[in-house]
Amino acid sequence: MTDLPAAAPSYAGLLRENTDFRRLWLGEVVSYFGDWFKMIALYAMVQQISDSALAVSGVIVGTTLPVFLVIPIAGPLVDRFDRRKVLLATDLIRASLVVGLLAAHHLQSLPLLYATLAVMVGCSGVFIPARTAVIPEITTKAELPVAMALSGGTWSVMLAVGAAIGGVVTGFVGIDGALILDSATFLGSFAILWGLPALRPSSDHAEGSDPGLRAGLRYLRRRPYLAGVLCHKPAMGLAGASLAMLPIFGKSVFTVGGPLYIGLLYSTRGIGSVFGSLGVRRVIGDAERTLAWAIVPAYSAMAAGLVTVAYSPTFAVAALGYLLMALGQGTIWVFSGTLAQHASDSAYRGRAFSLEFGVMTLATSTSSVLGGAAVDAGWTGVRGVVGASAAWLAVPLVVWTLALPALLRSRTAPAPAAEDRDEIPLGPPV
């Protein structure tokens, strides 16, 4: 990173002054916009083919589990090759795969839909860690928290906007139109990211050093604070069954339903996440210790929101519950991501963020399948699954609260001895 400026810039100032980050951010805007078009279209497509809650949960699995499966190759790819080229290649591949989703729609084939989606999401499992690893390389230390918040906030805004428009497009234009627009957004992202400079991984990877996954695991084992921070997204993923229930709330729990109402629920979730991603940081600042402790009330907000959804008497109350849940989720997402960037070294960021994202998607897909199967088997209803997700969140809340003092002490402990560093200089102590 470059020298620390006098003060952190504003969100607008960062985009105005940092050309490379502006390109990365604009690529996110375009790509996320298409992602939410696609999600609403996929839910509508599956519900055309099957009334099964498990089939709907299969969309969650298809958009999560493949990321876990590509962990052994995703992190090492990001830490070995030019990250700009990785971003561009995965955009092109994902744009071409929309043809498979169109075929699945016309053939009314769930297996083809899930298979195509799995390959597309596997590419995202490489793209997202690469993009995350790039952020510290194109920002200063003071710009980094602003960039992380803006990145998380962009996902949230595009969730709100993309989901709402995706619901309208899917409802009035059709599934095919939404999928074609999704393909176009990948090509738009490719065009924007083309202007980035070469983004080769750190030169810490000397000839003969080990850039593999096992070296990354050893790196994390010796850094309990970083490992703990990276556990937050997987912990939230285990409450993912509550999100698998969202399209069912939008279709059949209340008297209203259909793609438009699914989109509205996603939009309110996006609005909550905007406040969590962008607003909370503006209030409490960027001090690492403050960010770490703020994760505790954020878990409480998530749990309270899901309890509200579970007992909601009307569609509007359910929407407010998802908004509150997303406020806490957005806060944890941005704060844990910022803390992980500060505590990690460039040579290992690809593997660290690939592991984090991959394990999170495994947790999300597992909880979604279990929730959908429980509803289909009659063991519980949609509300029961959401309530169980709220109860689970008490576990990471309590564990983080109790473990944080010791983890913060380990954050300032001396770095491992040179001979214990996999023969790669690791930078400042964590």
Compute the distance between CA of residue 104 and CA of residue 116 in angstroms, rounded to an integer: 9
Compute the distance between CA of residue 1 and CA of residue 4 in angstroms, rounded to an integer: 8
Compute the distance between CA of residue 341 and CA of residue 23 in angstroms, rounded to an integer: 20
Q: Residue type at 215?
A: A
Compute the distance between CA of residue 153 and CA of residue 276 in angstroms, rounded to an integer: 8
Q: By C-alpha distance, which of 122, 94, 109 is closest to 38?
A: 94
Q: By C-alpha distance, which of 127, 105, 130 is closest to 116?
A: 105
Contact 337, 152 (CB under 8 A): yes
Count of residues in the chain: 430
Contact 430, 411 (CB under 8 A): yes
Q: How far is CA 322 from CA 59, 232, 247, 267, in A?
A: 19, 19, 12, 10
CA atoms 54, 55, 56, 58: torsion sign:
positive
pTM: 0.74
Contact 54, 248 (CB under 8 A): no
* Structural fold of domain 15-202+210-413: Growth Hormone; Chain: A; (1.20.1250)
Specify the residue for token string 């996603």: 266
Cβ neighbors of 327 (< 8 A, separation 6 or more) are 272, 273, 275, 276, 298, 301, 305
Cβ neighbors of 395 (< 8 A, separation 6 or more) are 235
At 356 the pLDDT is 87
Contact 78, 354 (CB under 8 A): yes
For the chain (length 430 residues), average pLDDT per consecutive 10? 57 88 88 75 79 72 78 82 90 89 84 87 87 87 85 72 68 78 88 88 50 78 90 88 71 60 73 82 85 93 91 84 90 90 84 85 82 78 85 92 90 52 33
Structure tokens that stand for 24 in this block: 């990365």
Compute the distance between CA of residue 271 and CA of residue 279 in angstroms, rounded to an integer: 11
Compute the distance between CA of residue 293 and CA of residue 268 in angstroms, rounded to an integer: 26
Distance of CA 85 to the CA centre of its chain: 21
Compute the distance between CA of residue 243 and CA of residue 329 in angstroms, rounded to an integer: 12
At 425 the pLDDT is 33
- Concatenate the DSSP letters of all residues of 154-219 into one string: HHHHHHHHHHHHHHHHHHHT-HHHHHHHHHHHHHHHHHHHTTSPP-PPPTTS-TT---SHHHHHHH
C-alpha R_g of the chain: 21
Compute the distance between CA of residue 83 and CA of residue 196 in angstroms, rounded to an integer: 10
Would you list the domain boundaries of the chain?
A: 15-202+210-413
- Concatenate the DSSP letters of all residues of 290-321 into one string: HHHHHHHHHHHHHHHHHHHHHT-SSHHHHHHH
Q: By C-alpha distance, which of 301, 24, 260 is closest to 135?
A: 24
Structure tokens that stand for 111 in this block: 């297996």
DSSP H stretches of helix in 224-348: 224-230, 232-237, 241-244, 246-248, 259-274, 280-284, 288-310, 315-343
